[in-house]
Structures are given as C-alpha cells and as structure tokens.
Structure 1
Amino acid sequence: MSYYSVLEVTPTTDAWVADYIGPANKLVAQYGGKYLARTSSHERLEGDAEQPALRIIIEWPSKQSAVDFMNDPGYVPHLAARTAGSVSHHALIEGKDDLA
C-alpha cells in the first residue's frame, strides 16, 4: 500500500537549500519514493492558517520506505539543517479511504 509524505516548508534561511536538494533527491529515489509535487504554486481553498512557502508530496511504496528514508544516516544531517533553517510540518498519510 502506498504512503504519502505531505510537507509544508517555509525556509527561514536559504543556507541549507543548495546542500539539501541533491542528497535528498538521491535518497528519496533510493527508498522508492517519487516526488508528486514540489512547488511554491499553491493556494489555500479552505481555512485561514498561514501559507507555507513550499508544499511537497512524495509517494512511497510502503510506510517502512518512508521511515527508512527519514532515519537514513546520510539524510539525518540534511534533515537537521532543514529543520533548523525552516518552519516545517511533515505528515505521513496511508493511501486508503477509511470512509468508503
């Protein structure tokens, strides 16, 4: 069953971005992830929360793939840099419909 990482990221500094993109791309692919969206082109259709600068959606082949990516020793320093240099929210969503 697929899982989806849904991230909202607003950088507070861009010092981490250049060193983050390449390793993150490589590791996402290594764990079978696929970027479905990585964009600043979005709009809120409901609610009044603050808009993040970026919205990112990654499709994973399994929950374990997403967890293994997040815990990969090669990703840990990049995650630390991203969280230190941004306001980030990350939800992992199981690809199922509990209300069907």
Structure 2
Amino acid sequence: MSIYVIADIKVTDNSWIPDYAANVHNIVHKFGGKYLTRTGNITTVEGEPMDTTLVALLEFPDITSVQNFAGSDEYAPYAKARQDGSVSRLHILDAVDLAGTIPYLEKG
C-alpha cells in the first residue's frame, strides 16, 4: 500500500535550499520514493491560510521505505539543514479509506 509524506515547510533561511533540492531527489528515489509535487503555489480554498513557504508531496511504496529514507545517514545532513533553516511539519498518510466510500480504494 502506498504511503504519502506531506512536507509543510516555512523557510526561515534560504541557504539550505539549493543543496537540498539538488541532492535529496536522488536519495528519495533510492529509497523507492518519488515526488508528486514540490511547490510554493499554495491556494487556500477553505479555512485560514497556512503560514507555509512550500509543500512537497511524496509517495513511497510502504512505511518501511519512508523510515529507511528518513533515518538514513545519506539524508541526515540534509534533514538537519532543513530543520535548521525552516519550521517543518512532516505528515505520513496511508491510502486507507476509513469510511469505505471511495470505490477505487481498498475497504478500510
């Protein structure tokens, strides 16, 4: 079952971004993940706007792949740079339809 990671990031220091953007994509791919979007074009259609600079949505094949990526020595310096230069919230979602009403998802 696919696992999705939503990275909600408010950049406080831009210096980490070029190195992160140039290198983390390959690390994500190495652990079976892929970016579905990385954007700063965020439009709020309901509720209060997020205080966010960018949002990334990633897909991984399973939770173990996410954990291996996030805990890898290869990603560690980039994670530290992101944490030092931003306020970040990372959310993990699975593809379970708890209500059981979406026909193309497996019943929860």
Q: TM-score, normalised by structure 2?
A: 0.87
Greater RCO (CA < 8 Å, at least 6 residues apart)? 1
Match of 1:69 in 2: 69
Unpaired runs of 5+ in structure 2? 101-108
Percent sequence identity over aligned pairs: 31
Contact 1:44 1:51 (8 Å CA) reproduced: no
Unpaired runs of 5+ in structure 1? none
AA aligned to 1:55 is V
Number of matched residues?
100
Contact 1:23 1:75 (8 Å CA) reproduced: no
CA RMSD in angstroms, aligned pairs only: 1.1
- Structure with bigger gyration radius: 2
The 4+ residue runs of structure 1 with deviation greater than 4 A are: none
Quick one: distance in 1 between partners of 2:49 and 2:83?
20
Quick one: distance in 1 between partners of 2:83 and 2:46?
26
